[in-house]
Amino acid sequence: MKTHIFLFATIFFISPMVEGQDYIPFPTQNASWNIYLESTCENDSPTDTFLLRYSILGDTTINEKTYHKLVLEKGDTINPTLEPIGGIREEGKKVYFYGQGFLRNDPGEELLLYDFNVQIGDTIKHSSDGPWKSIVLDIDSIQIGDHYRKRYKVDNGWIYHNPDYIIEGIGSVLNGLLGHISDIPTCGTHYWEHVCFRENEQILYLNPNYLDCNAGINTNSIIDKNKIWYNLIYIYHGWNIDTEVISIGEDTTINDTNYSQVLRATGGNEIPIKEYGFIRSDNDKVYYRTNSENPERLIYDFSISVGDTTTVYGLIDWSTDHFIECQYICDSILFREFYETQRTVYYLSINLLPDHNCESWIEGIGSLSGILHNYTGLVGGDAFYLSCVKDNDGFLFRKNESEACVKLSVSDNNKIANKPMIYPNPFSEFLHINSLEGIGKSTFRLYGSDGKIQLQTEISEKAIIDVSALSTGLYYYSIINDNQFGESGKLIKY
Backbone angles phi, psi at 319, to 5 degrees: -65, -25
Shared domain for 115 and 14, answered yes or no, is yes
Whether residues 437 and 398 share a domain: the answer is: no
* Domain boundary pick from 411, 438, 462: 411
Is residue 223 domain-resident? no
- Rounded to two decimals, the pTM is 0.49
Please check whether residues 393 and 464 belong to one and the same domain: no
Last residue of a domain, one of 369, 389, 411: 411
Judgement on whether residues 42 and 108 belong to the same structural domain of the protein: yes
User: Does residue 300 sit in the same domain as residue 168?
Assistant: no
Residue 152 lies in a domain: yes
Q: What is the CATH number of the domain that holds 442?
A: 2.60.40.1930
Whole-angstrom Cα Rg for the chain: 28
Domain of residue 444 covers 420-493
Q: How many domains does the chain have?
A: 3
Are residues 27 and 160 located together in one domain of the fold? yes
- Give residue 287's pLDDT: 96
Tally of residues, the chain = 494
Domain shared by 137 and 183, yes or no: yes
Same domain, 158 and 235: no
d(CA 95, CA 76): 29
Please confirm whether the linkage preceding 424 is cis (ω < 30° from 0): yes
Contacts of 170 (CB under 8 A, 6+ apart): 144, 149, 197, 204, 205
> Residue 479 CB: number of other CB atoms within 10 A?
20
Residues 251 and 305 in one domain: yes
The pLDDT value given to residue 19? 54
Instruction: State how far the Cα of 220 lies from the Cα of 214, in Å rounded to an integer.
Output: 12
Within this chain, do residues 257 and 390 fall inside the same structural domain, yes or no? yes
Q: What is the pLDDT along the chain (494 residues), one digit of tens a residue?
A: 233 333 334 333 334 445 557 899 999 999 999 999 887 777 666 666 788 999 999 999 999 999 999 999 987 676 788 999 999 999 999 999 999 888 777 778 899 999 999 999 999 999 887 778 999 999 999 888 788 999 999 998 876 788 899 999 999 999 999 988 887 777 777 788 999 999 988 899 988 777 778 775 444 578 888 899 998 876 655 556 788 899 999 899 999 999 999 999 887 778 888 899 999 988 789 999 999 999 999 999 988 888 889 999 988 766 667 888 888 888 887 767 788 776 788 888 875 544 444 688 998 899 988 899 876 554 445 667 888 999 887 899 988 776 778 755 444 444 444 556 677 777 888 888 875 555 567 788 887 766 678 888 888 777 888 988 888 877 777 777 654 445 666 677 77
452-460 long-range contacts (CB < 8 A, ≥24 apart) are 459/433, 459/435, 460/435
Do 90 and 18 share a structural domain?
Answer: yes
Instruction: Say if 489 falls within a structural domain.
Output: yes
Quick one: 50 and 132 in the same domain? yes
Cβ partners under 8 Å of residue 367, min gap 6: 300, 314, 359, 360, 361, 373, 374, 375, 386
User: What pLDDT does 385 receive?
Assistant: 83
Burial 182-219 (b: 16+ CB within 10 A, else e): bbbeeeeebebbbbbbbbeeebbbbbeebebbbbbbbe
The residues pairing with 133 across neighbouring beta strands, listed in sequence order, are 125
Q: Are 52 and 233 in contact (CB under 8 A)?
A: no
